[in-house]
C-alpha cells in the first residue's frame, strides 16, 4: 500500500538517484503522454474525487488511482469528467491525516470496459 504522506519525498529521492520512469513503469514507450517524470504504481488504490458539474453541482466518486507522478495522476472512473475540470483527489479520506491533491482534467478516454481513463495535471491549489 502506498504511503501517501511520502509520495513527493520518494519522487524527489528517486530522481536524485537517477532512476528513470522506466524503472517504475515498463509500459509501451510509444504512448503519446510519455514524460520525463517517473511514476509510482498505485496498485489500484481507491481514492475519493470531488468536482463541480456544468451546473456547479458537487459530484464525488470513490475511484481507482492507477498511477501517480510528480506532474499528475491517472485514474479509472465510471463517469466521464470534462476536460479542464478542476478535481480534488483525497487519499485515505476516512483517515484524519488524509491528503488532498488538486488537479485539472487533461484527458478523459472511454475504455472498452465502459470506464474512463482520466489524466489529471496536478496544480498547487484549488
Residue by residue, pLDDT tens for the chain (126 residues) are 444 444 544 443 433 444 443 333 333 433 444 445 544 545 678 999 999 999 999 999 999 998 888 889 999 999 999 999 999 999 887 788 888 999 999 999 999 999 999 999 999 877
- Nine-digit cell at 20? 528513470
- pTM value is 0.67
**Which superfamily does CATH assign the domain made up of 4-123 to?**
predicted glycosyltransferase like domains (2.40.10.220)
CA distance 68 to 3: 12
Nearest Cα to 7, choosing from 78, 71, 55?
Answer: 71
Supply the pLDDT for residue 42: 56
Q: Is the dihedral of CA 58, 99, 101, 31 positive or negative?
A: negative
Burial class (CB in 10 A: 0-12, 13-18, 19+), 39: buried
Residue ranges per domain, the chain?
4-123
CA dihedral 33, 38, 44, 50 (to 10 degrees): -70
Supply the pLDDT for residue 36: 52
CA distance 18 to 90: 29
Amino acid at each position: 500500500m502506498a504511503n501517501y504522506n511520502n509520495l513527493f519525498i520518494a519522487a524527489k529521492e528517486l530522481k536524485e538517484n537517477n532512476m528513470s520512469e522506466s524503472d517504475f513503469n515498463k509500459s509501451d514507450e510509444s504512448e503519446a503522454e510519455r514524460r520525463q517524470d517517473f511514476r509510482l504504481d498505485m496498485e489500484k488504490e481507491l481514492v475519493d474525487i470531488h468536482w463541480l458539474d456544468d451546473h456547479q453541482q458537487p459530484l464525488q466518486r470513490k475511484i481507482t488511482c492507477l498511477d501517480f507522478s510528480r506532474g499528475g495522476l491517472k485514474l479509472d472512473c465510471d463517469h466521464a469528467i470534462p476536460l479542464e475540470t478542476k478535481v480534488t483527489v483525497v487519499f485515505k479520506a476516512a483517515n484524519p491525516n488524509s491528503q488532498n491533491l488538486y488537479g485539472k482534467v487533461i484527458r478523459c478516454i472511454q475504455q472498452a470496459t465502459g470506464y474512463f481513463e482520466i489524466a489529471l495535471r496536478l496544480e498547487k491549489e484549488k
